[in-house]
């Protein structure tokens, strides 16, 4: 299972490198006017291309087909509220669970003098 | 703001911020190595590599705790806003410290593994059905992946290419990542610790983050029917400042007073969707409190040579009240500022 996962991750990363090469040499400047003629910053974009290349391709396609600029001003406020609430509830639950399952090690328990069994 | 991208946009303040951060990391790691060795259980001494991985691991946790606390703190008290200014560099440094921790783990515990190290790390413990002895390695890897994605997409290019809403949605991964880190620590390192010092720090830190997020949760404003919204009394808006009005499930407008006129724009900055309404008018421009992006009140456009634009709104004054048209204009649409009645204070 672990080997399969890592193999899939490796193929994913190689595909991401391919996307990075095409996007950074050609696509970035098409989508972003501020990237035209700017090359020094592009190597910094390679890790993100490798990690989120499906999103990069999807976004590139949206930008090529026309872009609803008004959506840029609708932050995911509700999702952020829910995520923050979920985190605030999860933290005490995780800590309480960890304290409940925690087993006292030999260092916390006082030593007990063992006595030899009574001779029969 | 816009204009050609460069690798890292440093300025004097960012240099100072980053220098203080790096100095604090170095001081923490050195102090941990010095004090941690002395505090370790003498009956079960730890190796130098283990001590170093703990130093970087605990440092990454504390940094992540601070990163997550900055947002709600800045919302609760404006004096924390300067910390928010360079939070992305803070996040990138946190990811680097976390990767250092992971590198020590992989190159110490799995260095002599017969199979590839990462494969060994993932396959060495598969007891996902139990809490005691849960495979915390998977929790750590998940958090590391999230931090990696956030750090890798921290450049302004990604903000602009993805658009602030999608970029922010992607960066919500910080929340599950932090929960995974808390579980990684409490089900792992702290299950085996006799010294309560770090348990106290880790517990207080995580609970503080939880409390701050609860305290800073926005309270929904009442939604009024119709296209025009009563935004309150115009004389309640201080000169150079704004009031924020909810105009939809996800949208808010900021009504600014600039001398004897009022103007309304989207509350979301085009850069990182920062809360423009919490900023002020500087040099005649609405200035975002997060990173200083500026817009002209009369058309929502950044002054030349910058090219950012935000939606504008129409306003009218009826008696002592200011009304806002909830239908946003396309970004950059000019709207003549609404004059205040004669003799306005």
CA–CA gap between residue B256 and residue B240 (Å, rounded): 7
Q: ipTM, 2 decimals?
A: 0.84
Query: Chain A contact for B184, CB < 8 A?
Result: no
Please judge whether B186 and A95 are an interchain contact, meaning their C-beta atoms are less than 8 angstroms apart.
Answer: yes
Query: Chain A contact for B211, CB < 8 A?
Result: yes
> Does residue B305 have a cis peptide bond before it, meaning omega lies within 30 degrees of 0?
yes
Instruction: State the pTM of this model.
Output: 0.79
For testing contact with chain B, the best of A84, A100, A104, A107 (most B CBs within 10 A) = A84
Q: Which residues contact B212 (CB under 8 A, 6 or more apart)?
A: B69, B72, B73, B76
Percent of all residues in chain A with a pLDDT value above 90, rounded to a whole number: 48
State the pLDDT at residue A55.
Answer: 95
State the pLDDT at residue B22.
Answer: 96
Tell me the pLDDT tens digit for each residue of B110-120: 888 888 888 88
Please say whether the beta carbons of B328 and B312 come within 8 A.
yes
Question: Is the model more confident about B219 or about A41?
Answer: A41
Please judge whether B170 and A1 are an interchain contact, meaning their C-beta atoms are less than 8 angstroms apart.
Answer: no
A13/chain B closest Cα distance in angstroms: 13
CA–CA gap between residue B345 and residue B340 (Å, rounded): 9
A115/chain B closest Cα distance in angstroms: 24
CA–CA gap between residue B197 and residue B188 (Å, rounded): 16
Tell me the pLDDT tens digit for each residue of B44-92: 667 888 889 999 999 999 999 999 999 899 888 878 877 877 888 999 9
Tell me the pLDDT tens digit for each residue of B302-326: 998 888 888 899 998 888 889 998 8
A 10 A CB-CB count for B28 gives 17
Please judge whether B4 and A34 are an interchain contact, meaning their C-beta atoms are less than 8 angstroms apart.
Answer: yes
Tell me the pLDDT tens digit for each residue of B2-57: 557 888 877 788 889 899 999 999 999 999 988 876 666 666 667 888 889 999 99
């Amino acid at each position: 299972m672990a080997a399969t996962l890592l193999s899939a991750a490796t193929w994913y990363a190689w595909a991401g490198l391919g996307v990075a090469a095409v996007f950074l040499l050609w696509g970035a400047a098409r989508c972003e006017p501020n990237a035209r003629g700017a090359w020094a910053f592009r190597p910094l974009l390679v890790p993100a291309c490798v990690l989120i290349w499906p999103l990069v391709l999807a976004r590139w396609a949206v930008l090529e087909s026309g872009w609803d600029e008004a959506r840029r001003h609708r932050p995911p406020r509700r999702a952020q509220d829910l995520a923050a609430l979920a985190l605030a509830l999860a933290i005490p639950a995780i800590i309480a669970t960890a304290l409940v399952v925690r087993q006292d090690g030999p260092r916390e328990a006082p030593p007990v003098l063992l006595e030899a069994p009574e001779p029969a | 703001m816009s204009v050609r991208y460069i690798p890292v946009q440093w300025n004097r303040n960012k240099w100072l911020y980053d220098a203080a951060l790096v100095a604090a990391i170095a001081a923490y790691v050195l102090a941990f190595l010095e004090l941690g060795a002395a505090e370790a259980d003498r009956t079960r001494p730890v190796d130098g590599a283990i001590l170093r991985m703990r130093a970087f691991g605990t440092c990454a946790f504390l940094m992540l705790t601070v990163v997550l606390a900055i947002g709600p703190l800045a919302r609760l008290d404006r004096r924390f806003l300067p910390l928010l200014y360079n939070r992305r560099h803070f996040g990138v440094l946190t990811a680097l410290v976390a990767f250092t921790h992971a590198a020590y783990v992989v190159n110490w515990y799995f260095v002599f593994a017969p199979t590839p190290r990462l494969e060994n790390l993932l396959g060495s413990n598969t007891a996902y059905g139990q809490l005691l002895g849960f495979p915390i390695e998977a929790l750590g890897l998940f958090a590391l992946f999230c931090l990696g994605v956030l750090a890798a997409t921290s450049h302004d290019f990604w903000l602009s290419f993805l658009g602030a809403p999608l970029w922010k949605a992607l960066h919500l991964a910080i929340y599950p990542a932090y929960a995974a880190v808390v579980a990684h620590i409490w089900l792992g390192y702290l299950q085996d610790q006799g010294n309560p010092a770090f348990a106290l720090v880790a517990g207080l830190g995580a609970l503080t983050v939880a409390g701050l997020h609860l305290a800073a949760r926005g309270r929904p404003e009442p939604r009024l029917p119709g296209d025009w919204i009563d935004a309150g009394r115009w004389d309640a808006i201080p000169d150079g400042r704004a009031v924020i009005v909810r105009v939809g499930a996800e949208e808010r407008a900021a009504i600014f007073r600039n001398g004897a006129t009022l103007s309304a724009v989207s509350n979301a900055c085009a850069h990182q969707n920062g809360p423009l309404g919490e900023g002020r008018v500087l040099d005649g421009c609405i200035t975002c409190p997060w990173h200083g992006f500026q817009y002209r009140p009369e058309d929502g456009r950044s002054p030349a040579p910058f090219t950012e634009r935000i939606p504008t709104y129409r306003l009218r004054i009826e008696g002592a009240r200011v009304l806002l048209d909830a239908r946003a204009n396309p970004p950059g649409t000019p709207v003549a500022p609404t004059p205040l009645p004669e003799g306005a204070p």
